Amino acid sequence: MTTLVQVQDIDKSFPLGGDNTYLALTGIDLQIRKGEFISLIGHSGCGKSTLLNMIAGLDLPTAGTVLVDGETVRRPGPDKMVVFQNYSLLPWLTVRENIALAVDEVMPALPRAERNAVVDEHIAMVGLGPATHKRPGELSGGMRQRVAIARALAIKPKLLLLDEPFGALDALTRGNLQEKLMQICNEHELTAVMVTHDVDEAVLLSDRIVMLTNGPGSVIGGILEVDIPRPRQRLSVVHHPSYYSLRSEIIYFLNRQKRVKQWQAKPHKVLARHGLEKVNLDLGFVPLAACAPLAVAEAKGFFSKHGLDAVQLVRETSWRGVTDGLVDGTLDAALMPSGMPAWMTAGGHGGTPLPVVSSLTLSRNGNGITLAKRLADEGVHNVDDYRRYLLSHQREPHRLGIVHPASMHNLLLRYWLASHAIDPDHDVHLQTIPPAQMLADLKDGSIDGFCIGAPWLDRALADGHGFTVAGDLAIWPGHPGKVLGVREDWALAYPNTHIALTKALLEACQYCAEPSHWGEMSELLSDRRYLGMKKEVIWFSETGVDGSSSVPHHLFFGKGVNRPSRSEHLWILTQLARWGEIPFPRNYVEILERICAVGVFSTAARELGLDAVSYQRGAIELFDGRPFDVDHPIDYLNAVPVHRDFSVAEIAIGAPRALAG
């Protein structure tokens, strides 16, 4: 498809008086194809309208170039028509006269009859035939905006630019106009760029959504491809499998930008006392039953007991929030999936490899592979049935939900599928979905199942929307679930704080392991600060909160439970490489030594008088009996039945360094 607009490395600054300037946008690169509909979204002040104005020629960049159809944009013109939120109609002219004014100005060489025909065509296009002779004061807001759109389209622009065109309209009028605009753009193959604050509007109308970060110095934070086929209908588009994923991605981005802005506005003085380098910590978590040690440490005063008297628990909606929080420094530490330290250290998050260390395994087990009840109704009761089901329904999309590429949910699900001759990348599609969205997607049929932990696993069973086809105890009993993770430079800058944090959470893990506490923990986690759901669906055993089961959902404490294991992290490295998330590190021994903060754990356990919990766990043994030889991980990788073409490479993470500043 031909490129119509090229935004080439533009910056835009505004003078503030004296020698001061405000940098609104920096390093903006964007290619817009002919016939494409682009939305610009971001918080107020991020430079959306500024970028639109520079494409329109209403403003010029401080640096860089904007090209439309190969020509540098230096001024506004009829080839680039802008529709503003405030309509911009001449109040003394009728609908017809407002449109005719633009047509007469741009097409004076056309005979009058042809110009009249153009005006009539566009009045009909926006459905304003009965209002032809009315003035703007006699029209509703939606009708006025239709006049503005008709006027813009009547002069046949190369590019339609819309600055929050529906922002002042009521929901019903806005919806009708959105559908009319979609119809016009599709029929006439218009190229359009729209500024919007409305997430649903962006997903409905766009081919791509450009997300801008906060100012000053806003950049493009991400570009989403909208894979929903056209033509689209407002009422049916929400049932497309990608709709809620795209919507969630935009909302996450906007919430993340808001979180960063709030964090930047706070004072960030490091509070040191009680012999600790830092006592004011932001500790991230995702609302799951496995976050119990963090909630207990806060509620029972274990943080304060160990000198951390200014800890704030930060609830994230997804594991991506935890990743970004560690990358940008808005989080000091976090509850994270057991694979995340290795994944981030090897650069799996897409950025520069960021060494992340773990001094504590917070929980084990707690997951399960759940399939939708509708599959059971079609005779699927075990993995052999599921494989036959996939073979007999090859034309249908088969999606299974995971919460993060580095989560044990993903790695166990992939291992289980591959061991039963189901390729997890070809026979099914694994889709990353926030935990809280899993159940809704299972209910509406957009996914076939998921691998996740409590309480969402239990909710699916209790509500009758799914059934467990394989519990994690039947795949790898005692596998690591969640760990404590901190950046390596943070750990080096605050060694005593790191030990104190490990002590507080290890003591909380010991409390969580006692069955007599599970009822109290369910009530605690039901608070909106943590899970925000009924305590009756927050279980820590297979039979509920009463603790009568001999096999708990989660192992929080015990011999070999909490000590970080290099063998387990090595197995995780092999699986991440197996599925193409990272290259297998040639320097894996160094990486494992830096990931596993065994010394911090041992010090914490010793100071708590818990030396017995630090013993080494046994060999890794999964359900298929395939041995994992820690001395020959690449041979193991080559021997597994299904894997991608993995690579082996040195992961350049550099020497350990202290936190900057």
Q: Give the pLDDT score at 223.
A: 95
In angstroms, the CA 144 to CA 393 distance is: 50
Query: How many Cα atoms are found within 13 Å in the side-chain-facing hemisphere of 546?
Result: 3
What are the helix and strand counts (H, E) for the chain?
Answer: 24, 22
Q: Is residue 641 part of a domain?
A: yes
For 349-490, list the strands marked E by DSSP: 356-364, 367-372, 399-402, 429-432, 449-453, 466-471, 480-487
Closest Cα to residue 65, out of 75, 76, 54? 54
Same domain, 491 and 465: no
In angstroms, the CA 331 to CA 325 distance is: 5
Given 474, 496, 531, which residue is the final one in a domain? 474
Same domain, 109 and 211: yes
Percent of the chain with pLDDT over 70: 97
* Residue 294 in tokens: 């963090």
Same domain, 409 and 437: yes
Q: Give the pLDDT score at 570.
A: 96
For the chain (661 residues), the mean pLDDT of every run of 10, in chain order, is 91 89 94 95 93 94 94 90 82 91 88 90 85 90 84 85 81 80 83 93 95 93 93 86 85 89 80 93 94 97 96 91 92 96 93 93 91 92 93 87 92 95 94 82 87 81 86 88 97 97 98 94 94 86 48 81 94 96 94 95 94 69 89 92 88 76 47
Same domain, 404 and 493: no
In angstroms, the CA 181 to CA 193 distance is: 12
Do the Cβ atoms of 531 and 306 come closer than 8 Å?
Answer: no
The contacts of residue 308 (CB under 8 Å, 6+ apart) are 276, 279, 281, 497, 500, 501, 504
What backbone torsions phi and psi does residue 636 show, to the nearest 5 degrees? -60, -45
Same domain, 458 and 325: no
CATH code where residue 404 lies: 3.40.190.10
Q: Is residue 530 part of a domain?
A: no
Q: Identify residue 186 by its one-letter amino acid code.
A: N
Closest Cα to residue 497, out of 486, 507, 508? 486
Same domain, 332 and 184: no
- Which strands sit side by side in the sheet containing 356-364, from one edge to the other? 310-315, 280-285, 333-337, 480-487, 356-364
Q: Is residue 529 part of a domain?
A: no
Same domain, 147 and 212: yes
Do the Cβ atoms of 276 and 497 come closer than 8 Å?
Answer: yes
Stated as kind and residue range, the H or E segment containing 159 is: strand 159-163
Q: Is residue 563 part of a domain?
A: yes
Peptide bond between residue 231 and the one before it cis (omega within 30 degrees of 0): yes
Closest Cα to residue 215, out of 43, 16, 8? 43
* Residue 186 in tokens: 């599709």
**Number of structural domains the chain divides into:** 3
Closest Cα to residue 541, out of 509, 519, 511, 523? 519
Q: Give the pLDDT score at 503.
A: 98
Do the Cβ atoms of 469 and 322 come closer than 8 Å?
Answer: no
In angstroms, the CA 550 to CA 600 distance is: 32
Instruction: Report the relative pairing of strands 280-285 and 333-337 from DSSP bridges.
Output: parallel
In angstroms, the CA 584 to CA 632 distance is: 12
Q: Is residue 13 part of a domain?
A: no
pLDDT digits (tens, 9 = 90+) for 316-375: 988 999 999 999 899 999 999 999 999 999 999 887 899 999 999 999 998 889 999 999
Q: Give the pLDDT score at 661.
A: 47
Same domain, 300 and 391: no
Same domain, 426 and 449: yes
Q: Is residue 300 part of a domain?
A: yes
Q: Is residue 24 part of a domain?
A: no
Residue 373 neighbours by CB distance under 10 Å: 18
Residue 152 neighbours by CB distance under 10 Å: 24
Domain that holds residue 183: 32-60+69-250
For 232-378, list the strands marked E by DSSP: 280-285, 310-315, 333-337, 356-364, 367-372
CATH code where residue 139 lies: 3.40.50.300
* Longest alpha-carbon distance in the chain: 95
Q: Is residue 579 part of a domain?
A: yes
Same domain, 443 and 388: yes
Closest Cα to residue 364, out of 160, 494, 551? 551
Q: Give the pLDDT score at 435.
A: 77
Same domain, 209 and 282: no
Given 427, 445, 474, which residue is the final one in a domain? 474
Same domain, 277 and 425: no
Given 474, 489, 521, which residue is the final one in a domain? 474
Q: Give the pLDDT score at 550.
A: 43
Chain centre to alpha carbon of residue 71: 37
SS3 for 90?
coil
